[in-house]
Amino acid sequence: MTLAVFCGASLGNNEAYANAAKDFGKYLALNNINVVFGAGSVGMMGTLADAVLEHGGNICGVIPEKLKDLELAHENLTELIIVKDMHERKATMAQLSDAFVALPGGLGTLEEIFEVWTWAQLGFHKKPCAFYNVDGFYDKLLDMIKTMSEEGFLKQEHVDIMIQSSYKEELITAIENFEPKEYAL
Ligand code: AMP
């Protein structure tokens, strides 16, 4: 399996986030799960990549030329794919991956996971999407999703596409067992 991991270019203020990125990277490497990510060398991204590489895993980075030129790309990845812009980056990451997971992060992370979730809702792909809810980081966002659903802007079956867990083993098992449905628009 190849998993796209979206996560922050920063480390956050709670050391639980960096610890989770490190631990998750190790777990993916040891379980032969290939990783695709935004190729960053800093923050959660860099921590994840270093952990995957340290434990002999495969990690492919996809980065737009401009960010590469700013020397933001990790230099020791298994593979580095340089693309034209952010649109091509997200399309490439989506094509290469069998599933998507968001660790804690900022706007970039949210944008990436919401895009693939929206694509699933509209039937453009049937791949599982997941929040790795480290230390309750996504609790308030998930409350907002509940509000959207209760207020009639989001169908429950589209909420249910998104896997959420605070435990990496549970998260990966749910991704592996995910059964795609035909969703009503
Ligand atoms: P954020 O959550 O705002 O920190 O943004 C993280 C996401 O945006 C990552 O998954 C990357 O795809 C992208 N991104 C943001 N900053 C960088 C960076 N310095 N280098 C590479 N990718 C980045």
What is the domain-level CATH number for residue 10?
Answer: 3.40.50.450
Note whether residue 181 is domain-resident: no
DSSP bridge pairs for 4 = 36, 100
**Domain assignment present for 91:** yes
Whether the pTM exceeds 0.85: the reply is yes
pLDDT at 181: 80
Give the per-residue pLDDT at 184. Answer: 66
Q: Classify residue 46: in a domain, yes or no.
A: yes
Amino acid at 5: V
Is ligand 1 within 6 A of the CB of residue 36?
A: no
Query: How many folded domains does the chain comprise?
Result: 1
Distance 175 CA to ligand 1 centre (A): 23
- Where residue 183 falls (left for φ over 0; alpha for ψ -120 to 50; beta otherwise) is beta
Our answer on whether the CB atom of 108 is closer than 6 Å to any ligand 1 atom is yes
- The finding on whether 149 has its CB within 6 A of some atom of ligand 1 is no
Q: Under a CB-based contact definition with an 8 Å cutoff, are residues 183 and 123 in contact?
A: yes
* Residue 24 near ligand 1, beta carbon < 6 Å: no
Q: Which residue among 65, 66, 109, 116 has the greatest number of ligand 1 atoms within 8 angstroms of its CB, and so is best to mutate?
A: 109
- What spacing in Å lies between the alpha carbon of 8 and ligand 1's midpoint? 6
Indicate whether residue 104 lines ligand 1 (CB < 6 A): no
**Is pLDDT at 182 greater than 90 in this prediction?**
no
Q: Is residue 180 part of a domain?
A: no
Domain range holding 18? Answer: 2-174
For residue 185, is it within any domain? no
Q: Per residue in 84-122, pLDDT tens?
A: 999 999 999 999 999 999 999 999 999 999 999 999 999
Give the model confidence (pLDDT) of 35-93 as tens digits.
999 999 999 999 999 999 999 999 999 999 998 877 789 999 999 999 999 999 999 99
